[in-house]
Amino acid sequence: MQINGQESYLDAGISVSEMLEALDIEAKKVIIEINLEIIEKDKYSETKLHEDDKVEIITFMGGG
Amino acid sequence: MSEYSIQTKKDQIPSQEEFEAQLVARHTPGVHAKVKNAVVGIAGLGGLGSNVAVSLARLGIGKLILVDFDRVEPSNLNRQQYFTRHIGIKKTKALKELIKEINPFVEIETRDIFLDKDNVLDCFKDVEIIVEAFDNPESKATLVNTVLTKDKEKIIVAASGMAGYFSNNTIKTKRIRDNFYLIGDGVSEVVDGCGLMAPRVAIAANHQANTVLRIILGERDV
């Protein structure tokens, strides 16, 4: 699968939650788009990633 | 005595007609008509939100819905549009008062609430465009997630990454989706030794304000 435009070393079949954990990204600070669809926050553990998925992770920085 | 000299008398507030005439002269009648009809929601009235609100008020925006639960503190004055006389006052009240001094004919609604996934849609049900102007990254993500997944009609203009005094030119406006714009450098968060400072926060805020203006005027590209 692709994450933010780059082919990822992560294995297909893991959940969005597992992907974030593997990448050491805090789930509360992101929005996740898979194949252009935004994933609801409470669906991160049930949403599995597939080989041909294109994932975009947008991480919000503190400050405003 | 000409009308012009009457209008410049000290402490005299121009009438609504005079305000409108000035804005039409500056912005053209077509632009002013669209701006005057726009309703914009601002989530968070800190460095981003207070600056966005002031710019939109100066444009003669029709109506603003201003949302924040917090009060003005001395530490806010390094970048937020408040004055020392506002310390201790609710940000909603202080900003409404301040905008009334800029343009008394901008309609303002205020909500003293902590926005979360359960109240955000109701709070902004009457607006076309929502400006995400929070400080806290978790609140930013929650707001954007909720709006993008639950109400596909709204347009959201968010910001991420504007701390410090890095180059001006790293702050960009990106269109992530049809209805989601994201402004900032994407990396500069608040950490020890890299705080929020007025110029860069105002640069990001005015990227947001100009994005709102462009959307109102039908310019959807960045």
3-state SS, chain B, equals CCHHHHHCCCCCCCCHHHHHHHHHHHHCHHHHHHHHCCEEEEECCCHHHHHHHHHHHHHCCCEEEEECCCECCHHHHHCCCCCHHHCCCEHHHHHHHHHHHHCCCCEEEEECCCCCCCCHHHHCCCCCEEEECCCCHHHHHHHHHHHHHHCCCCEEEEECCCCCCCCHHHCEEEEEECCEEEEECCCCCCECCECCCHHHHHHHHHHHHHHHHHHHCCCCCC
CB nearest B135 (choices: A33, A36, A64) = A64
pLDDT value at residue B53: 98
Q: Please identify every stretch of chain A with a pLDDT value under 50, giving residue numbers as ranges.
A: none
pLDDT value at residue B10: 73
pLDDT value at residue B1: 42
- For residue B132, the distance in angstroms to the closest alpha carbon of chain A comes to 9
CB nearest A28 (choices: B138, B176, B184) = B138
Q: Does B188 touch chain A (CB under 8 A)?
A: yes
Mean pLDDT by 10 residues, chain B (222 residues): 55 90 96 98 98 98 98 98 98 98 97 97 97 97 97 96 97 97 96 94 98 98 96
Chain A residues near any Cβ of chain B (below 8 Å): 28-31, 33, 36, 38-41, 56, 58-64
Q: Is the CB of A61 less than 8 angstroms away from the CB of B176?
A: no
Q: Is the CB of B137 less than 8 angstroms away from the CB of A29?
A: yes
Give the CA angle between residues A32, A3, B219 to the nearest 5°: 60
pLDDT value at residue B6: 53
- For residue B157, the distance in angstroms to the closest alpha carbon of chain A comes to 13
Q: In chain A, what residues touch B182 (CB-CB under 8 Å)?
A: 58
CB nearest B141 (choices: A31, A33, A36) = A31
Q: In chain B, what residues touch A60 (CB-CB under 8 Å)?
A: 137-138, 140-141, 144, 158, 160
